[in-house]
Structure formats: C-alpha cells, structure tokens
Amino acid sequence: MGNVREMTSRVCLASNLRAARSLFRWSQEELGLQCGLKRTYIGALERREVNPGIDNLDKLALGVGVLAHVLLLSPELAYAEIYVASSADSESEG
C-alpha cells in the first residue's frame, strides 16, 4: 500500500472508479450513463482534476452498486465490495 499521505480521498476515488469500470467492463461513457453524469466529468474524476460534490458521489455509488463511503476507501479495501457489486450485476444480466 502507498504512503498514507499519498492516499487522499481524491486518489482513492479515482482508483476505485477505474477498478469499477474494469470489473463492470464499462467505458467512461457507460459509467456516466449508469450514474447520470457526463463522460467528461468521469474522466476528470479519474484524472483527479475535480472534486466530486456529495450528490455526485451518491450518484457514482448508486451507479456502481455500493455505499458512497466505499468509493473513498483505499483501493485494497474497496475492491472486494466493488467486485461483489459487479458480480451481482453480471448475474442479473444472465
């Protein structure tokens, strides 16, 4: 795990959004559609260029299928919950 000072909420969120997109096999555009947010905003979050408002954090969490705080956890802690959400999503599609 990286230095605690380097693991800001912004860094954790960016990493967790990328992990979620990978697990769900979504593009930035698809994640945006799932959350009601624009692709460009998703990209800016992943590049750590913007801070999300609390309402947008809730939209992201709802779209991914986790509680909002999970997206701010260190990636090592968040991965399991994001993985479960992606597995549930793929089962509902099948």
Which residues lie below 8 Å from residue 9, measured CB to CB, with a gap of 6+? 72
pLDDT confidence of residue 7 = 87
Tell me if 62 is assigned to some domain. yes
Tell me if 55 is assigned to some domain. yes
Q: Which domain holds residue 71?
A: 4-89
What digits encode the pLDDT tens for the residues 16-52?
Answer: 999 999 999 999 999 999 999 999 999 999 999 999 9
Tell me if 8 is assigned to some domain. yes
Higher pLDDT, 55 or 92: 55
Tell me if 56 is assigned to some domain. yes
Tell me if 94 is assigned to some domain. no
- How many domains would you assign to the chain? 1
pTM of the predicted model, to two decimals? Answer: 0.89
* CATH code of residue 49: 1.10.260.40
Tell me if 33 is assigned to some domain. yes
* DSSP secondary structure of 51-94: PPPHHHHHHHHHHHTS-GGGGGS-HHHHHHHHHHHHHHHHHHH-
pLDDT at 6 over 70: yes
pLDDT at 56 over 70: yes
